[in-house]
Amino acid sequence: MSTSHVFLEGHRIRVEISSSKFPQYMRNLNTGGNNVDETERNGFTLIGHEKQVLPGSVAHYIAISRERKLALVGVKGTSGLEELITDCVGGIVTHALEGPFIQGSPREVRCHEGIALAATRLAEDLGVIVQALLLPAGYRLLITGHSLGAGVAALVAVILRSRIPRLRDDEDGVIRVLAFGSPPVLDHDAALACAGFVSSIVNNSDVIPRMSLSNLVVMSRMLQAVHDKMAEKGVSPQDLKSTAALMQWLARGTDGEMIMSVDEVRAGLNQVLAEVELTDPDHLYVPGKVIHMYDLWGSSGDEREAEGSVDEQAVSGESTADDGSGRRRAAERVYVGDGTSSELRHIEMEARLLSDHLPAAYRDSIQVLLSPAKTG
Amino acid sequence: VRGAASGAAHDAFTYDPMNPVPVARRRRVLQRGASLGGSFDQRGIEARADVLVYTSDVLESDLEVTGFVRAKLFVSSDARDTDFTVKLVDVHPDGAAFNVDDTILRARWREGYDEAVFMEPGEVYALSPRP
Protein backbone atom coordinates (compact mmCIF):
# COMPACT_ATOMS: atom_id res chain seq x y z
CA MET A 1 0.00 0.00 0.00
CA SER A 2 1.14 3.53 -0.60
CA THR A 3 -0.75 6.70 -0.01
CA SER A 4 -0.66 10.35 0.85
CA HIS A 5 -3.56 11.06 3.10
CA VAL A 6 -4.35 13.26 6.07
CA PHE A 7 -6.37 11.64 8.84
CA LEU A 8 -8.12 14.67 10.30
CA GLU A 9 -8.46 15.53 13.95
CA GLY A 10 -11.45 13.73 15.40
CA HIS A 11 -11.14 10.86 12.92
CA ARG A 12 -9.95 7.36 13.72
CA ILE A 13 -7.63 5.01 11.83
CA ARG A 14 -8.95 1.56 11.13
CA VAL A 15 -7.43 -1.61 9.70
CA GLU A 16 -9.49 -4.46 8.29
CA ILE A 17 -8.06 -7.95 7.84
CA SER A 18 -9.77 -10.66 5.84
CA SER A 19 -9.15 -13.27 3.15
CA SER A 20 -10.90 -12.06 0.02
CA LYS A 21 -11.85 -9.03 -2.01
CA PHE A 22 -14.16 -10.26 -4.70
CA PRO A 23 -14.50 -9.78 -7.65
CA GLN A 24 -11.49 -7.48 -7.84
CA TYR A 25 -9.28 -10.42 -6.86
CA MET A 26 -9.95 -14.03 -7.78
CA ARG A 27 -10.98 -16.11 -4.79
CA ASN A 28 -8.49 -18.47 -3.21
CA LEU A 29 -10.28 -21.81 -2.98
CA ASN A 30 -7.97 -22.75 -0.08
CA THR A 31 -7.12 -26.10 -1.62
CA GLY A 32 -3.52 -25.35 -2.46
CA GLY A 33 -4.42 -25.98 -6.10
CA ASN A 34 -4.12 -23.49 -8.93
CA ASN A 35 -7.59 -21.99 -8.21
CA VAL A 36 -8.27 -21.64 -11.92
CA ASP A 37 -9.56 -24.95 -13.26
CA GLU A 38 -10.01 -27.08 -10.17
CA THR A 39 -12.74 -29.56 -10.92
CA GLU A 40 -13.20 -31.36 -7.61
CA ARG A 41 -15.64 -29.85 -5.17
CA ASN A 42 -17.81 -31.51 -2.52
CA GLY A 43 -17.19 -34.88 -4.16
CA PHE A 44 -18.26 -33.68 -7.60
CA THR A 45 -16.05 -33.89 -10.67
CA LEU A 46 -16.58 -31.47 -13.52
CA ILE A 47 -17.12 -33.40 -16.76
CA GLY A 48 -18.35 -30.63 -19.03
CA HIS A 49 -18.37 -26.85 -19.05
CA GLU A 50 -19.86 -24.80 -21.86
CA LYS A 51 -18.73 -21.27 -21.09
CA GLN A 52 -19.78 -19.60 -24.29
CA VAL A 53 -23.01 -17.67 -24.28
CA LEU A 54 -24.62 -17.17 -27.67
CA PRO A 55 -27.97 -15.56 -28.40
CA GLY A 56 -30.59 -18.18 -27.55
CA SER A 57 -28.26 -20.47 -25.66
CA VAL A 58 -26.92 -20.52 -22.12
CA ALA A 59 -23.64 -21.43 -20.47
CA HIS A 60 -23.79 -24.49 -18.25
CA TYR A 61 -21.70 -27.15 -16.55
CA ILE A 62 -22.14 -30.82 -15.76
CA ALA A 63 -20.54 -32.36 -12.69
CA ILE A 64 -20.95 -35.90 -11.39
CA SER A 65 -20.60 -37.54 -8.02
CA ARG A 66 -19.69 -41.20 -8.41
CA GLU A 67 -20.38 -41.82 -4.76
CA ARG A 68 -23.90 -40.38 -4.86
CA LYS A 69 -24.63 -41.51 -8.43
CA LEU A 70 -25.77 -37.99 -9.13
CA ALA A 71 -25.20 -35.70 -12.09
CA LEU A 72 -25.48 -31.99 -11.37
CA VAL A 73 -26.23 -29.57 -14.19
CA GLY A 74 -25.79 -25.86 -13.43
CA VAL A 75 -27.32 -23.38 -15.86
CA LYS A 76 -25.96 -19.84 -15.94
CA GLY A 77 -28.35 -16.94 -15.48
CA THR A 78 -28.19 -13.66 -17.30
CA SER A 79 -25.25 -11.45 -16.45
CA GLY A 80 -27.32 -8.30 -16.11
CA LEU A 81 -30.73 -7.46 -14.79
CA GLU A 82 -31.65 -5.41 -17.85
CA GLU A 83 -31.17 -8.44 -20.08
CA LEU A 84 -33.27 -10.50 -17.74
CA ILE A 85 -36.12 -8.04 -17.67
CA THR A 86 -35.99 -7.86 -21.46
CA ASP A 87 -36.07 -11.66 -21.57
CA CYS A 88 -39.01 -11.84 -19.21
CA VAL A 89 -41.26 -9.49 -21.08
CA GLY A 90 -40.50 -11.10 -24.43
CA GLY A 91 -42.94 -13.03 -26.57
CA ILE A 92 -44.89 -15.99 -25.27
CA VAL A 93 -45.09 -18.97 -27.61
CA THR A 94 -46.59 -22.43 -27.75
CA HIS A 95 -43.80 -24.99 -27.56
CA ALA A 96 -44.57 -28.46 -28.93
CA LEU A 97 -43.24 -31.42 -26.94
CA GLU A 98 -42.43 -34.88 -28.27
CA GLY A 99 -44.59 -36.55 -25.65
CA PRO A 100 -46.30 -35.90 -22.33
CA PHE A 101 -43.96 -34.69 -19.54
CA ILE A 102 -46.13 -36.29 -16.89
CA GLN A 103 -48.74 -38.99 -17.36
CA GLY A 104 -51.57 -37.57 -19.44
CA SER A 105 -50.19 -34.05 -19.74
CA PRO A 106 -50.73 -32.11 -22.97
CA ARG A 107 -48.00 -32.32 -25.60
CA GLU A 108 -47.45 -28.62 -25.69
CA VAL A 109 -46.73 -25.87 -23.19
CA ARG A 110 -46.94 -22.11 -23.34
CA CYS A 111 -43.64 -20.54 -22.42
CA HIS A 112 -41.36 -17.63 -23.09
CA GLU A 113 -39.75 -17.74 -26.53
CA GLY A 114 -36.15 -16.99 -25.57
CA ILE A 115 -36.18 -19.44 -22.69
CA ALA A 116 -37.75 -22.12 -24.89
CA LEU A 117 -34.98 -21.67 -27.46
CA ALA A 118 -32.21 -21.88 -24.86
CA ALA A 119 -33.85 -24.88 -23.14
CA THR A 120 -34.34 -26.76 -26.42
CA ARG A 121 -30.65 -26.44 -27.29
CA LEU A 122 -29.52 -27.46 -23.83
CA ALA A 123 -31.94 -30.41 -23.84
CA GLU A 124 -30.39 -31.57 -27.16
CA ASP A 125 -26.93 -31.63 -25.60
CA LEU A 126 -28.02 -33.15 -22.31
CA GLY A 127 -30.36 -35.72 -23.87
CA VAL A 128 -27.44 -37.55 -25.47
CA ILE A 129 -25.45 -37.68 -22.25
CA VAL A 130 -28.47 -38.71 -20.20
CA GLN A 131 -29.47 -41.56 -22.49
CA ALA A 132 -26.01 -42.83 -23.41
CA LEU A 133 -24.19 -42.41 -20.12
CA LEU A 134 -26.15 -41.36 -17.06
CA LEU A 135 -29.25 -43.57 -17.18
CA PRO A 136 -27.38 -46.80 -18.09
CA ALA A 137 -25.00 -46.12 -15.18
CA GLY A 138 -27.90 -45.59 -12.76
CA TYR A 139 -27.32 -41.88 -12.24
CA ARG A 140 -29.98 -39.39 -11.19
CA LEU A 141 -30.01 -35.86 -12.59
CA LEU A 142 -30.32 -32.59 -10.67
CA ILE A 143 -30.63 -29.43 -12.77
CA THR A 144 -30.22 -26.10 -11.06
CA GLY A 145 -29.88 -22.46 -11.94
CA HIS A 146 -30.55 -18.93 -10.80
CA SER A 147 -32.70 -16.34 -12.54
CA LEU A 148 -32.89 -17.01 -16.30
CA GLY A 149 -30.86 -20.17 -15.64
CA ALA A 150 -33.60 -21.34 -13.26
CA GLY A 151 -36.30 -20.86 -15.88
CA VAL A 152 -34.21 -22.71 -18.45
CA ALA A 153 -33.52 -25.53 -15.97
CA ALA A 154 -37.24 -26.11 -15.39
CA LEU A 155 -38.04 -26.15 -19.09
CA VAL A 156 -35.08 -28.44 -19.89
CA ALA A 157 -36.51 -30.95 -17.41
CA VAL A 158 -39.96 -30.69 -19.03
CA ILE A 159 -38.45 -31.25 -22.50
CA LEU A 160 -36.23 -34.16 -21.40
CA ARG A 161 -39.16 -35.87 -19.68
CA SER A 162 -41.26 -35.51 -22.82
CA ARG A 163 -38.54 -37.33 -24.79
CA ILE A 164 -37.24 -39.94 -22.39
CA PRO A 165 -39.99 -42.06 -20.74
CA ARG A 166 -37.62 -43.32 -18.02
CA LEU A 167 -37.33 -39.77 -16.66
CA ARG A 168 -41.09 -39.59 -16.08
CA ASP A 169 -40.84 -42.07 -13.22
CA ASP A 170 -41.35 -39.66 -10.34
CA GLU A 171 -41.10 -42.23 -7.58
CA ASP A 172 -37.45 -42.64 -8.43
CA GLY A 173 -36.97 -38.90 -8.72
CA VAL A 174 -34.60 -39.55 -11.61
CA ILE A 175 -34.71 -35.90 -12.63
CA ARG A 176 -35.19 -32.99 -10.27
CA VAL A 177 -34.91 -29.21 -10.64
CA LEU A 178 -33.98 -26.60 -8.04
CA ALA A 179 -34.83 -23.20 -9.53
CA PHE A 180 -33.61 -20.12 -7.62
CA GLY A 181 -35.34 -16.83 -8.46
CA SER A 182 -36.94 -18.19 -11.61
CA PRO A 183 -38.98 -15.81 -13.74
CA PRO A 184 -42.51 -16.97 -14.61
CA VAL A 185 -41.82 -19.37 -17.50
CA LEU A 186 -44.73 -21.80 -17.88
CA ASP A 187 -48.47 -21.57 -18.45
CA HIS A 188 -50.83 -22.16 -15.54
CA ASP A 189 -51.41 -25.90 -16.04
CA ALA A 190 -47.81 -26.76 -16.87
CA ALA A 191 -46.42 -24.69 -13.99
CA LEU A 192 -48.61 -26.59 -11.52
CA ALA A 193 -48.11 -29.97 -13.19
CA CYS A 194 -44.34 -29.99 -12.69
CA ALA A 195 -44.56 -29.72 -8.89
CA GLY A 196 -43.42 -33.36 -8.65
CA PHE A 197 -39.97 -32.59 -10.03
CA VAL A 198 -39.45 -28.80 -9.92
CA SER A 199 -38.96 -26.79 -6.73
CA SER A 200 -38.70 -23.03 -7.19
CA ILE A 201 -37.16 -20.97 -4.42
CA VAL A 202 -38.19 -17.31 -4.13
CA ASN A 203 -36.41 -14.85 -1.83
CA ASN A 204 -38.45 -12.13 -0.14
CA SER A 205 -39.55 -9.38 -2.55
CA ASP A 206 -37.49 -10.59 -5.53
CA VAL A 207 -39.13 -8.93 -8.52
CA ILE A 208 -38.08 -11.46 -11.17
CA PRO A 209 -40.47 -14.29 -10.14
CA ARG A 210 -43.19 -11.64 -10.15
CA MET A 211 -42.28 -10.19 -13.55
CA SER A 212 -45.29 -11.60 -15.37
CA LEU A 213 -47.80 -10.14 -17.75
CA SER A 214 -50.62 -10.85 -15.29
CA ASN A 215 -48.78 -8.94 -12.57
CA LEU A 216 -48.24 -6.03 -14.94
CA VAL A 217 -52.00 -6.08 -15.49
CA VAL A 218 -52.53 -6.07 -11.71
CA MET A 219 -50.04 -3.24 -11.27
CA SER A 220 -51.48 -1.09 -14.03
CA ARG A 221 -54.99 -1.50 -12.63
CA MET A 222 -53.75 -0.54 -9.18
CA LEU A 223 -52.05 2.51 -10.65
CA GLN A 224 -55.30 3.33 -12.44
CA ALA A 225 -57.10 3.13 -9.10
CA VAL A 226 -54.58 5.52 -7.54
CA HIS A 227 -54.94 7.80 -10.54
CA ASP A 228 -58.74 7.81 -10.19
CA LYS A 229 -58.41 8.56 -6.50
CA MET A 230 -56.11 11.47 -7.28
CA ALA A 231 -58.59 12.81 -9.83
CA GLU A 232 -61.28 12.57 -7.16
CA LYS A 233 -59.13 14.77 -4.92
CA GLY A 234 -58.52 17.17 -7.78
CA VAL A 235 -54.83 16.43 -8.37
CA SER A 236 -53.28 15.53 -11.71
CA PRO A 237 -50.05 13.53 -11.93
CA GLN A 238 -48.84 16.22 -14.35
CA ASP A 239 -48.73 18.66 -11.45
CA LEU A 240 -45.95 16.66 -9.88
CA LYS A 241 -42.48 17.04 -11.33
CA SER A 242 -41.05 13.59 -10.68
CA THR A 243 -41.85 10.09 -9.50
CA ALA A 244 -40.21 10.93 -6.20
CA ALA A 245 -42.48 13.95 -5.82
CA LEU A 246 -45.49 11.78 -6.62
CA MET A 247 -44.45 9.21 -4.02
CA GLN A 248 -43.91 11.87 -1.39
CA TRP A 249 -47.26 13.35 -2.17
CA LEU A 250 -48.99 9.98 -2.02
CA ALA A 251 -47.46 9.25 1.37
CA ARG A 252 -48.33 12.67 2.73
CA GLY A 253 -51.76 12.95 1.17
CA THR A 254 -53.86 16.05 1.35
CA ASP A 255 -54.71 17.80 4.57
CA GLY A 256 -53.04 15.07 6.55
CA GLU A 257 -55.34 12.47 5.10
CA MET A 258 -53.90 9.48 3.29
CA ILE A 259 -55.04 9.19 -0.31
CA MET A 260 -55.92 5.55 0.14
CA SER A 261 -56.02 3.69 3.42
CA VAL A 262 -54.21 0.39 3.74
CA ASP A 263 -57.57 -1.39 3.83
CA GLU A 264 -58.69 0.34 0.65
CA VAL A 265 -55.49 -0.69 -1.11
CA ARG A 266 -55.88 -4.27 0.06
CA ALA A 267 -59.53 -4.44 -1.00
CA GLY A 268 -58.65 -2.92 -4.37
CA LEU A 269 -55.84 -5.43 -4.88
CA ASN A 270 -58.08 -8.38 -4.02
CA GLN A 271 -60.67 -7.16 -6.47
CA VAL A 272 -58.11 -6.79 -9.26
CA LEU A 273 -56.67 -10.25 -8.50
CA ALA A 274 -60.14 -11.77 -8.74
CA GLU A 275 -60.64 -10.15 -12.14
CA VAL A 276 -57.40 -11.45 -13.68
CA GLU A 277 -57.90 -14.82 -15.35
CA LEU A 278 -55.32 -17.31 -14.01
CA THR A 279 -55.53 -19.60 -17.02
CA ASP A 280 -55.14 -16.86 -19.63
CA PRO A 281 -52.77 -18.41 -22.22
CA ASP A 282 -50.56 -15.33 -22.11
CA HIS A 283 -50.05 -15.53 -18.35
CA LEU A 284 -47.00 -17.46 -17.19
CA TYR A 285 -46.10 -18.66 -13.70
CA VAL A 286 -43.09 -19.69 -11.66
CA PRO A 287 -42.77 -23.45 -12.23
CA GLY A 288 -43.47 -26.28 -9.79
CA LYS A 289 -43.62 -26.21 -6.04
CA VAL A 290 -42.71 -22.73 -4.79
CA ILE A 291 -40.74 -22.31 -1.59
CA HIS A 292 -41.05 -18.68 -0.61
CA MET A 293 -38.43 -17.47 1.89
CA TYR A 294 -39.57 -14.33 3.63
CA ASP A 295 -39.58 -12.29 6.81
CA LEU A 296 -42.45 -10.40 8.33
CA TRP A 297 -42.74 -6.65 8.02
CA GLY A 298 -41.82 -5.06 11.31
CA SER A 299 -40.39 -8.29 12.67
CA SER A 300 -36.82 -8.90 13.71
CA GLY A 301 -35.68 -8.45 10.12
CA ASP A 302 -36.58 -4.80 10.14
CA GLU A 303 -35.16 -4.25 13.58
CA ARG A 304 -31.86 -5.62 12.44
CA GLU A 305 -32.03 -3.33 9.47
CA ALA A 306 -32.76 -0.33 11.63
CA GLU A 307 -29.98 -0.75 14.11
CA GLY A 308 -26.89 0.89 12.83
CA SER A 309 -24.22 -0.31 15.17
CA VAL A 310 -21.53 -2.15 13.29
CA ASP A 311 -20.10 -3.69 16.43
CA GLU A 312 -23.35 -5.32 17.45
CA GLN A 313 -23.75 -6.88 14.05
CA ALA A 314 -20.25 -8.20 14.12
CA VAL A 315 -20.76 -9.70 17.57
CA SER A 316 -23.96 -11.43 16.52
CA GLY A 317 -21.95 -13.09 13.77
CA GLU A 318 -24.60 -12.57 11.14
CA SER A 319 -23.24 -11.53 7.82
CA THR A 320 -26.24 -9.62 6.58
CA ALA A 321 -24.22 -7.08 4.65
CA ASP A 322 -23.31 -7.40 1.03
CA ASP A 323 -21.82 -4.57 -0.92
CA GLY A 324 -20.92 -2.31 1.92
CA SER A 325 -23.61 0.23 1.22
CA GLY A 326 -26.59 -1.41 2.80
CA ARG A 327 -27.85 -4.02 5.16
CA ARG A 328 -29.73 -6.87 3.62
CA ARG A 329 -32.71 -8.72 4.95
CA ALA A 330 -32.29 -12.42 5.25
CA ALA A 331 -35.45 -14.46 5.22
CA GLU A 332 -36.45 -16.22 8.40
CA ARG A 333 -39.60 -18.05 7.42
CA VAL A 334 -40.70 -20.32 4.65
CA TYR A 335 -44.03 -20.69 2.92
CA VAL A 336 -44.66 -23.51 0.46
CA GLY A 337 -47.13 -22.91 -2.35
CA ASP A 338 -47.07 -22.72 -6.11
CA GLY A 339 -46.75 -20.18 -8.91
CA THR A 340 -50.30 -18.92 -8.36
CA SER A 341 -49.81 -18.19 -4.62
CA SER A 342 -50.98 -14.73 -3.66
CA GLU A 343 -47.43 -13.74 -2.60
CA LEU A 344 -46.34 -13.96 -6.22
CA ARG A 345 -49.37 -12.34 -7.80
CA HIS A 346 -48.30 -8.76 -7.48
CA ILE A 347 -45.03 -6.88 -7.75
CA GLU A 348 -43.77 -5.83 -4.33
CA MET A 349 -43.02 -2.16 -4.84
CA GLU A 350 -40.23 -1.75 -2.35
CA ALA A 351 -36.59 -0.78 -2.37
CA ARG A 352 -35.25 -4.32 -2.25
CA LEU A 353 -37.19 -5.77 -5.13
CA LEU A 354 -33.98 -5.94 -7.20
CA SER A 355 -31.38 -6.70 -4.54
CA ASP A 356 -33.50 -9.57 -3.19
CA HIS A 357 -32.92 -11.23 -6.56
CA LEU A 358 -29.12 -11.34 -6.32
CA PRO A 359 -27.49 -14.75 -5.76
CA ALA A 360 -25.85 -13.44 -2.58
CA ALA A 361 -29.28 -12.51 -1.18
CA TYR A 362 -30.50 -16.04 -1.86
CA ARG A 363 -27.42 -17.48 -0.20
CA ASP A 364 -27.90 -15.31 2.89
CA SER A 365 -31.53 -16.34 3.30
CA ILE A 366 -30.74 -20.01 2.85
CA GLN A 367 -27.90 -19.79 5.34
CA VAL A 368 -30.11 -18.16 7.96
CA LEU A 369 -32.91 -20.66 7.38
CA LEU A 370 -30.60 -23.64 7.58
CA SER A 371 -28.63 -22.46 10.59
CA PRO A 372 -29.33 -24.72 13.58
CA ALA A 373 -30.06 -21.76 15.88
CA LYS A 374 -33.17 -20.84 13.91
CA THR A 375 -34.79 -24.23 13.95
CA GLY A 376 -35.47 -24.22 17.70
CA VAL B 1 -4.55 0.79 16.91
CA ARG B 2 -6.21 -1.44 19.39
CA GLY B 3 -7.91 -4.77 18.90
CA ALA B 4 -11.62 -4.66 18.32
CA ALA B 5 -12.39 -8.14 19.44
CA SER B 6 -10.79 -8.60 22.83
CA GLY B 7 -7.55 -8.89 24.69
CA ALA B 8 -7.27 -12.44 23.40
CA ALA B 9 -3.92 -13.64 22.14
CA HIS B 10 -5.30 -13.96 18.64
CA ASP B 11 -8.38 -13.17 16.58
CA ALA B 12 -9.85 -15.73 14.21
CA PHE B 13 -12.29 -15.86 11.35
CA THR B 14 -13.62 -18.41 8.87
CA TYR B 15 -13.25 -17.63 5.19
CA ASP B 16 -15.76 -19.30 2.89
CA PRO B 17 -14.76 -19.16 -0.80
CA MET B 18 -18.45 -19.50 -1.64
CA ASN B 19 -19.18 -16.26 0.22
CA PRO B 20 -16.21 -13.96 -0.36
CA VAL B 21 -15.91 -10.42 0.98
CA PRO B 22 -17.25 -8.16 -1.77
CA VAL B 23 -15.79 -4.91 -3.02
CA ALA B 24 -17.81 -1.96 -1.76
CA ARG B 25 -19.25 0.11 -4.52
CA ARG B 26 -22.07 2.41 -5.31
CA ARG B 27 -25.45 0.76 -4.95
CA ARG B 28 -26.58 0.68 -8.54
CA VAL B 29 -27.95 -2.67 -9.38
CA LEU B 30 -28.78 -1.79 -12.94
CA GLN B 31 -25.36 -0.42 -13.79
CA ARG B 32 -23.18 -2.99 -15.47
CA GLY B 33 -19.43 -2.98 -15.34
CA ALA B 34 -19.41 -0.60 -12.40
CA SER B 35 -15.90 0.59 -11.69
CA LEU B 36 -14.17 -1.05 -8.75
CA GLY B 37 -12.18 1.99 -7.76
CA GLY B 38 -13.10 4.73 -5.37
CA SER B 39 -13.70 5.29 -1.70
CA PHE B 40 -16.94 4.01 -0.24
CA ASP B 41 -18.39 3.48 3.21
CA GLN B 42 -17.06 0.12 4.43
CA ARG B 43 -19.37 -0.36 7.42
CA GLY B 44 -21.49 -2.98 5.68
CA ILE B 45 -18.40 -5.04 4.92
CA GLU B 46 -17.01 -4.54 8.42
CA ALA B 47 -20.18 -6.09 9.85
CA ARG B 48 -19.30 -9.43 8.24
CA ALA B 49 -18.17 -12.21 10.54
CA ASP B 50 -15.16 -12.91 8.30
CA VAL B 51 -13.65 -9.41 8.58
CA LEU B 52 -11.42 -8.49 11.53
CA VAL B 53 -11.69 -4.80 12.42
CA TYR B 54 -9.14 -2.82 14.46
CA THR B 55 -9.74 0.85 15.25
CA SER B 56 -7.50 3.51 16.82
CA ASP B 57 -8.52 6.07 19.41
CA VAL B 58 -9.84 9.40 18.17
CA LEU B 59 -7.00 11.51 16.73
CA GLU B 60 -6.25 14.65 18.72
CA SER B 61 -4.64 16.39 15.76
CA ASP B 62 -4.34 15.99 11.99
CA LEU B 63 -2.05 13.14 10.94
CA GLU B 64 -0.46 13.08 7.52
CA VAL B 65 0.48 9.68 6.13
CA THR B 66 2.67 9.80 3.01
CA GLY B 67 4.64 6.91 1.57
CA PHE B 68 4.52 3.14 1.76
CA VAL B 69 2.16 1.70 4.33
CA ARG B 70 3.54 -1.58 5.60
CA ALA B 71 1.49 -4.19 7.40
CA LYS B 72 2.94 -7.16 9.24
CA LEU B 73 0.58 -10.02 9.98
CA PHE B 74 1.20 -13.05 12.13
CA VAL B 75 -1.10 -15.71 10.78
CA SER B 76 -1.97 -19.35 11.10
CA SER B 77 -4.45 -21.28 9.00
CA ASP B 78 -5.94 -24.76 8.81
CA ALA B 79 -5.74 -24.42 5.01
CA ARG B 80 -2.51 -25.06 3.07
CA ASP B 81 -2.96 -21.78 1.30
CA THR B 82 -5.25 -18.79 1.52
CA ASP B 83 -5.20 -15.05 0.80
CA PHE B 84 -4.85 -12.25 3.33
CA THR B 85 -6.19 -8.77 2.71
CA VAL B 86 -5.29 -5.60 4.59
CA LYS B 87 -7.36 -2.45 4.22
CA LEU B 88 -6.56 0.98 5.63
CA VAL B 89 -9.69 2.93 6.53
CA ASP B 90 -10.39 6.54 7.58
CA VAL B 91 -13.22 6.58 10.14
CA HIS B 92 -15.11 9.86 10.23
CA PRO B 93 -16.56 11.29 13.45
CA ASP B 94 -20.05 10.20 12.34
CA GLY B 95 -18.85 6.61 12.01
CA ALA B 96 -18.65 6.50 8.22
CA ALA B 97 -15.60 4.43 7.29
CA PHE B 98 -13.90 5.25 3.99
CA ASN B 99 -11.21 3.05 2.46
CA VAL B 100 -7.85 4.72 1.84
CA ASP B 101 -5.92 1.82 0.35
CA ASP B 102 -5.68 -1.94 0.53
CA THR B 103 -3.47 -4.86 -0.44
CA ILE B 104 -3.61 -8.64 -0.70
CA LEU B 105 -1.12 -11.49 -0.41
CA ARG B 106 -1.52 -15.14 -1.33
CA ALA B 107 0.15 -17.00 1.51
CA ARG B 108 1.99 -19.43 -0.79
CA TRP B 109 3.97 -16.51 -2.23
CA ARG B 110 5.03 -15.10 1.13
CA GLU B 111 8.70 -15.97 0.51
CA GLY B 112 8.69 -14.63 -3.05
CA TYR B 113 6.87 -15.22 -6.30
CA ASP B 114 9.45 -17.64 -7.70
CA GLU B 115 8.42 -20.54 -5.50
CA ALA B 116 5.16 -21.58 -3.83
CA VAL B 117 5.60 -22.43 -0.17
CA PHE B 118 2.49 -23.85 1.46
CA MET B 119 1.50 -23.45 5.09
CA GLU B 120 1.34 -26.15 7.75
CA PRO B 121 -1.62 -26.18 10.14
CA GLY B 122 -0.71 -24.85 13.59
CA GLU B 123 2.37 -22.98 12.39
CA VAL B 124 2.46 -19.21 12.72
CA TYR B 125 3.87 -17.24 9.79
CA ALA B 126 4.86 -13.59 9.54
CA LEU B 127 3.44 -12.03 6.38
CA SER B 128 4.32 -8.68 4.86
CA PRO B 129 1.86 -7.98 2.07
CA ARG B 130 3.82 -5.87 -0.42
CA PRO B 131 2.50 -2.73 -2.09
Q: What percent of chain B has pLDDT over 70?
A: 83
Q: Does residue A374 register a pLDDT over 70?
A: no
pLDDT tier, A310 (very low <50, low <70, confident <90, very high otherwise): very low
Stretch among A52-56, A61-65, A89-93, A351-355 having the lowest mean pLDDT: A52-56
Q: Number of residue pairs across A and B with CB atoms under 8 Å?
A: 251
| A128-148 pLDDT tens trace | 999 999 999 999 999 999 988
How far, in Å, are A84, A145, A230 from residue A52 at the CA level? Answer: 18, 16, 51
Question: Pick from A11, A325, A367: which is nearest to B26 by CB?
Answer: A325
CA atoms of A255 and B21, how far apart (whole Å): 48
Which pLDDT value is given to residue A247? Answer: 66
In contact, B53 and A13? CB cutoff 8 Å: no
How far is the CA of B101 from the CAs of A325, B68, B106, B116, in angstroms?
18, 11, 18, 26
Looking at chain A, the whole-number percentage of residues with pLDDT higher than 90 is 31
Which residues of chain B have a CB within 8 Å of the CB of A38?
Answer: none
Instruction: Please judge whether B80 and A31 are an interchain contact, meaning their C-beta atoms are less than 8 angstroms apart.
Output: yes
Axis-axis angle for helices A148-163, A81-88 (nearest 10): 50
Q: A145-149, A150-154, A252-256: which range is least confident on average?
A: A252-256
pLDDT of residue A160: 95
How high is the ipTM of this complex?
0.91
Residue B123 has pLDDT above 90, yes or no: yes
Cβ atoms of residues A219 and A346 within 8 Å: yes
Task: Identify which of A23, A7, A144 has the alpha carbon closest to the alpha carbon of residue A75.
Answer: A144
More confident residue, A120 or A302: A120
- Report the pLDDT value the prediction gives residue A345, as an integer from 0 to 100: 84
Q: How confident is the model at residue B30 (pLDDT cuts 50, 70, 90)?
A: very low
Q: For the segment A192-246, what is each residue's pLDDT rounded down to a tens digit?
A: 999 999 999 999 888 889 888 788 888 888 888 877 877 777 777 666 666 666 6
Query: Mean pLDDT across chain A, nearest whole number?
Result: 80
Please check whether residue A51 is in contact with residue A58, taking contact to mean a CB–CB distance below 8 angstroms. Answer: no
Give chain A positions within 8 Å (CB) of B95.
Answer: 308, 310
Q: Which of A6, A325, A354 is opposite residue B44, by nearest beta carbon?
A: A325
**Mean pLDDT, residues B7-34 taken together:** 74
- pTM comes to 0.65
